[in-house]
A and B are shown apart, each in its own frame.
Chain A
Amino acid sequence: MSIINFEFRNEVLKHNASLSYCYQCSTCSGGCPVALITNGKYNPRKIIEEAILGLKDRLVEKYDPNLWLCSTCQKCVELCPQKVELTEIFTLIKNLCFESGKVPEAFIAQGRSVLENGVAIPYSKAILTRREKLGLPVIKTAQIDEIKTILKETEFENHIPKEAE
């Protein structure tokens, strides 16, 4: 049993109206590299169908289909005869997944790094030495206070689950 969540459907539509253009032709799934290797278990057409129907529980909680398997290759977007912006819609739904907190760990780790350092991969001592040996200049990244002000404004921290004590 799935529960129809009109609020969720309206939220997606408000964010990206192209959702309503979809006529379920499945061109997206036909061109999707992940659908191919999962024998259709991952299926972009179905994700769009569930979004139109407002089946938030399937998309955000049960991960059926698991939209985290999208490789963001953008082939579906390019191929869609209706110009449905699939990856944009998936991005919004993934953003919503962070509100519920059940997301792949690697994303949380990257989020924490940007929160703490302003960059996804901070310069390690070994890399700084290597850069010097390769004759590369010293690059100053952003002042972290400035980044923190911006992240506070966008409430980024609220999306990142707290580290377990």
Chain B
Amino acid sequence: MSYDLFLGCVIPARLPFLETSSRKVFEKLGIKLNDVDGFSCCPDPTGIELIDQKTWLALGARNLSLCHNNGGVVSFCSGCVETLKGVNYAINKDYHAKEEVNTVLNKVGKSYDGKVEVKHFAEILYEYIDKVKAYIEKPLDGFKVAVHYGCHYLRPSEIINWDDPFEPKTVDEIVRALGAESIDYEMKMECCGNPVDKSDKDLSLVMIDQKLKAIQKAGANCVVVVCPACYQQYEFNQRELNKKNESNYEIPIFYLSELIALSFGYKPEELGFKFHRIRPNKLFENLDFIF
């Protein structure tokens, strides 16, 4: 199987090491990712869409018009997936919106019919879960993982059309397949607070503080995410919270692809773990997870 790859902005231009592990995992599983030149911002469903929805729709449709792979398009980012699925939903539901978008796209010699299938990378990994299991060289024994699904991976379910919007299971199942334990915690389904950062930093910190507190209380030793916005919210704010409050957060944050890559036997230096702000070295030592 092969897919066109939509990278978006945050992962390739700020957190490229997350791209490294994701590409490695797909390669190992024999799923071909086709790089496409000429994409713009997806655009951000928590940013550009709030400035002007018409622009969001037009740029999103333009991006989709560049995808020609039979398998459709895949992204490593929940925000990009929400936008691209949302654009499909909007223009397939509303004929006038489709006409209007195509009038704009015609100005640059493009058009879009609303038919490109969009998938989140975790969706595909879940489909390949048996193959994932077959490639495990180092089971993640002792990893007590707090799974954070994030919002846009799931909702609105009518648009995302994937896992259960309130009781999801896909990422938990992948985590368990790797030999790790998925730790249940209070507030598991709450938002990380990242989008609120644009308008109220303090409020967004309260939201992530609540989650980290619950994760610590439940005894998890790491967190797994499937969205770069959630990743940044969890990773970048722990030290800030420790300075502000009396917390002592030092919880490593993994991308789902990183956990899978670790179980496949890739080494921290191959995965760019040195770019993590909270390095997982201590966790590896504690668990005797030796490379």
Contact = CB atoms under 8 A, between A and B. Distances in A.
Interface of A: 33-34, 37-38, 66, 68-75, 77-78, 87, 91-92, 94-95, 98, 104, 106-107, 110-111, 114, 118-124, 127, 130-131, 134-137, 139-143, 146-147, 149-151, 153-154, 156, 159-160
A154 B10 contact: no
Contact of A69 (B104, B108, B203): B203
B9 A111 contact: no
A24 B12 CA distance: 43
B239 to A, nearest CB: 21
Contacts of B10: 120-121
Given A94-B50, A127-B14, A34 B156 contact: no
Contact of A156 (B9, B52, B105, B206): B52
21 contacts: A37-B203, A68-B200, A69-B203, A71-B196, A74-B155, A78-B166, A106-B197, A107-B50, A111-B47, A121-B9, A124-B13, A134-B17, A134-B19, A134-B20, A134-B272, A139-B37, A142-B39, A143-B38, A150-B55, A154-B58, A159-B51
A143 B272 CA distance: 30
B9 A120 contact: yes
Interface string B180-222: 0000000000110111111110010011001000000000000
Contacts of B41: 114, 118-120
A105 to B, nearest CB: 9
Given A69-B199, A119-B41, A156-B55, 19 more contacts: A33-B190, A66-B199, A70-B196, A77-B155, A78-B166, A91-B49, A94-B51, A110-B51, A130-B275, A134-B16, A139-B7, A142-B40, A146-B108, A150-B58, A150-B108, A153-B58, A153-B107, A154-B55, A159-B55
Contacts of B280: none
B53 A77 contact: no
Given A104-B198, A123-B13, A147-B59, A136 B19 contact: yes
A127 B13 contact: yes
B252 interface: no
A14 B104 CA distance: 22
B23 interface: yes
A77 B158 CA distance: 10
Nearest to B211: A33
Contacts of A122: 13
Interface in B77-124: 104-105, 107-108
Contact of B14 (A34, A121, A139, A159): A121
B283 interface: no
Given A91-B53, A134-B272, A142-B38, A114 B203 contact: no
A121 B13 contact: yes
A84 to B, nearest CB: 12
Contacts of B151: 71-75
Contacts of A143: 38
A150 B107 contact: yes
A104 B199 contact: yes
B230 to A, nearest CB: 11
Nearest to B110: A146
B45 interface: yes
Contacts of B206: 37
Contacts of B144: none
